[in-house]
């Protein structure tokens, strides 16, 4: 019997349908995004833990972006 952990693949609500290749997709069609300065985002990620969704960190501009459901951001 293997002691290796097994992984189950499931569709995530923010993931675009193309899982085989990288593809540029417009925000607002598959997801929306919110941003925060990276130091603020680091603290938010620490607090959210595993409850955080997909995150993109842009070190060039010092911003972090969360991909969220369409029309779910308030302001």
Contacts of range 51-55, beta carbons closer than 8 Å, 24 or more positions apart: 53/12, 53/14, 54/12, 54/14, 54/15
Query: What average pLDDT does this structure show over 17-32?
Result: 74
On the question of pLDDT at 24 being above 60, the answer is yes
pLDDT at 61: 94
Rounded to a whole number, what is the distance in angstroms from the first to the last CA of the chain?
Answer: 51
pLDDT at 16: 60
Q: Which residues of 21-55 are buried (b: 16+ CB within 10 A; e: fewer)?
A: eeeeeeeeeebbeeebebeebeeebeeeeeeeeee
């Amino acid at each position: 019997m293997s002691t290796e952990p097994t992984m189950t693949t499931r569709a995530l609500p923010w993931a675009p349908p193309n899982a085989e290749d990288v593809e540029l997709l417009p925000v607002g069609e598959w997801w929306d995004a919110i941003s925060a300065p990276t130091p603020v985002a680091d603290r938010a990620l620490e607090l959210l833990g595993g409850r955080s969704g997909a995150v993109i960190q842009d070190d060039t501009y010092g911003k972090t972006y969360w991909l969220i459901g369409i029309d779910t951001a308030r302001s």
